[in-house]
Amino acid sequence: MDACSESRQRKDGAFHFPVFHRKHPCVDEDPSTIHAASVSDAGTVIGNDKIHQGKYFMAIRLGTPAVFNLVTIDTGSTLSWVNCKRCRIRCHEQAARSWPQAGPSPLRHADNGVPYGCVDETDTCLYGLRYGSQYSAGKLGRDRLALGDNYTIVDDFVFGCSEDDMFYGLEAGVIGLGDKRYSFFNQMARLTTYNAFAYCFPGDHRAEGGYGRRQHVYSVLLLGIAVDGKPLEVDGRQILVVDSGTDDTFVSSSVFYALAEAIASAMQDKAYYREYGRKVCFRPAGGEPVNWRSLPTVQMQLLRATLELPPENVFHQQSTDRICLAFQSNDAAGVPDVQILGNKALRPFRVVYDLQKMTFGFQARAC
């Protein structure tokens, strides 16, 4: 098995899968041509902004016989799903590399553990999921899930067979890492001895990252935010859902506006001017390329740790002379009562979820 498709179970019982950005040598140079042949072994994880901005993907083989599906890795949801072979109502458009789709055995009324509605007359169970303004609905099924060289990980993997959705990506669906009995990792739990997992999404497209095995969402307590070491003059205490499937970080409106003003003040001192629009963006006053070394940093004070975010984690680069803040008000997320710690802030941290000790770990510059 080559380095581009290495998916293995280590001697300590943990599973390891590589993570690749869309420009990594293991992925075709043209991101529009990603398909089963270019990530031939399920378990490879890909970052591809052309498919869906800011998300990371995992190649899996699902069904009997196995079929290739490219799915978003999402710690903010629990149930995994892909489009059904027959879309009965409306299904999102998929890129050629994201199908064929699965056609599972139906999950019967007698099956336990998945809290969705069942229909006695047809002896089938249904599901419905919402992601802000997006959603997926369909039937529950079970089938074989294979990773890496068709090595079977779960024989009776429970997932959703979508028959109606409004989904903005071109990938086949979502693989849920949340802490419920039927999530991807909890269905793998019978093959491991310790209840924890970790991932590292690379910020440098030449680097390899990865993730390993193992409240249905995971959250941390944010105590406050500082810019270049100076705390914001606002109460920043709030719960942040750690969501690998969301790019930006969404904080309460009061914290966001204080952060935006502090960043704008720091940028003005460095001869950048602010553009006003839906997002907070900046350009160098002289029109020269962005000097990343001179940009402000952000410190996120958690209960037992401080995340030191360098400029690359604070801003998105839109062009050589334009950058935008990778933070937004939670009002913009469509769920105003939820704050989210997105994956942009955590690249290239290794994020460890120790569910037995109920703690998080963050290791900077890990991939």
Residues known to be catalytic = 74, 243
Of 75, 43, 78, the C-alpha closest to 183 is: 78
Region at 28 (left for phi over 0; alpha for psi -120 to 50; beta for the rest): beta
Please give the full DSSP string across 156-184, using - where no structure is assigned.
EEEEEEEEEEE--SSSSEEEE-SSSTTSH
Please give the Cα distance from 219 to 216 (Å, whole number).
10
Q: Please check whether residue 178 is in contact with residue 218, taking contact to mean a CB–CB distance below 8 angstroms.
A: yes
Please give the Cα distance from 342 to 338 (Å, whole number).
12
Q: Please check whether residue 223 is in contact with residue 302, taking contact to mean a CB–CB distance below 8 angstroms.
A: yes
How far from the centroid of its chain's Cα atoms is residue 21's Cα?
13
What are the distances in angstroms from CA 185 to CA 44, 125, 180, 182?
Answer: 16, 22, 9, 8
H-state helical runs in 49-94? none
Please give the Cα distance from 340 to 59 (Å, whole number).
25
What is the token pair recorded at 132? 């802000």
Question: Within 10 A of 203 (CB to CB), how many other CB atoms are there?
Answer: 19
What is the token pair recorded at 262? 């502090």
Q: Please check whether residue 201 is in contact with residue 346, taking contact to mean a CB–CB distance below 8 angstroms.
A: yes
Q: Please check whether residue 308 is in contact with residue 315, taking contact to mean a CB–CB distance below 8 angstroms.
A: no
What are the distances in angstroms from CA 10 to CA 42, 196, 202, 362?
Answer: 17, 14, 21, 22
What phi and psi values does residue 200 have, to the nearest 5 degrees? -145, 110
